[in-house]
Chain A
Amino acid sequence: MTDYEHHSWEISPQRSLFDLKLRDTWEYRDLLWLLVRRDFVSFYKQTILGPLWFFIQPLFTTLIFTFIFGMAGIGTDGLPRPLFYMAGVTAWNYFADCITKTSTVFKDNANIFGKVYFPRLIMPLSIVISNLVRFGVQFLLFLAMMGYYAAQGADIRPNGTILLFPVLLLLMAALGLGAGMIISAMTTKYRDLAFLVTFGVQLLMYASAVIMPLSETPDQYKWLIQANPMTTIIETFRYGFTGQGTFTWGAFGYASGFTVITLLAGIVIFNKVEKNFVDTV
């Protein structure tokens, strides 16, 4: 039993606010992958159309946006309307999925959290990674659409900013995770917040360049729209792949900083609540 001596542990009520148990979380990395696999497998097993559902939702959303906002005549930076919305919807969906699913992590896992210990951080992490699968499928759809419009002769010019794509993905995941964890911690005490989340996320979408490009936003509201880090993320995403949109390093820096702070705050608050959460539900 060589492992034996290495597994000394201590249970005590006081724990430093900044003891994030990241090492502990790393020890449980196999669980992370198994949970992701579970989500994936169980999703397929209950459906007839399987992954097709991943396509249907963004396609319909894009269609509706094209119809409604096309009538309203809101500009799209010169991009074909469906492609413009598809880019926004793809990115936004990933963020929205991360935040809404993470925000109910305590409620959804109350039973398992009440019966067995593992670093709780694993659960929200597995949600973010599971959603990546869905994002991947929708992203392929977006690429296909891009190819189609490029062949039609639309003005699409991918550029160097495309290299930021992995960073953007990371930012979306971290932002959704961080904000979701903050909300999840608060919902353990005040349940009504859970109802606000789905609603709030929907509202936030309208303040995030999914529908209206930043260039079209009236000047006096620009700061408000730009305060939302998702605006920059979506604009950068669109700019990298199509060459249309607004990209500045300043805004990008702000979005990154905002995300890092949200994520850290999320982990700290999550860890604090996790300790005694079992007693309050």
Chain B
Amino acid sequence: MKKKISRRLFLKAGAATACTLAVPNIASAVSKADIHNQLATLIDISKCIGCGACVEACSEVNSSKYPAPRKPFPKMYPKRVPVMDWSDKQDVTDRLTPYNWLFIQSATVEKNGEEIELTIPRRCMHCVNPPCVKLCPWGAARQLENGISRIDPDICLGGSKCKSVCPWKIPERQTGVGLYLDFLPSLGGNGVMYKCDRCYDRIADGKLPACIEVCPENVQTIGPRDEIIKQAHTLAKETNGYIYGEKENGGTNTIYVSPVPFEELNKAIEKGKGKPHLNPVKNVMANANNLGTAMLIAPVAGVVAAVGKMYSMAKTEKEDASDETE
């Protein structure tokens, strides 16, 4: 018996398939976004003398952005919701707090059999694809076109999701400030999250970030990411140094060059709350983004399945019809 698919059926299925052919093109275009023009900084750890000028300058320049909480804080429900209050500890400079967005970490390590002390300026890494920004449920954390990630204190509700998803746990919360006070302060929200915004406003005015401008040793260099990566590799080659931040979390815009391996530095630094590690970090957004690309071509699968079903129904109908005529 000869089984035929009618011309009308063929045209319908063809049109449906053609409509979905454009979708993979959209998916492939997605991976062509330009990340090379993001601003990155190179931090040459061997130059840092730990004078703290960068910490002071950061505080001075950004003090107008620091939280001014309303007290007493609203009573929180349920009781497990922690009150995070740094307003009486604004002088703390040995860790990250809502009032201290940059601090100096120290490490005593061995190099060529000699004990040396290294100091490392630590702040937000400004990831190329920052999970704090991408996973913020309200859009309060945002990435600027020059790659700087910052948290808008007018929108942030202080849920601390940005801190949970940050591989270095950088953002710090201050209770009693922000938008949540105007809604249901006892039941939702808990303040505002704060972290380094790399002096985005100064950069917009054509100035350098405060920490870079005041550094007496020129520890930091800022520029387009591609150039900074090249400089970091040249420096590492010249000094037999090691690089951190280029590949971490799929790439960051803070590139450290150290005279000793980062495994050793990581062992030597004090880590904990407000004191980030120097571990290797895998790209935390990679799995979901692979699925995201697949999501953009999912409609094709839907159309193929429906067209397949239509052909199979048409075949069965023809078989039934021919059975009846026999």
- Interaction A to B: no
Residues of B within 8 A of A (CB): none
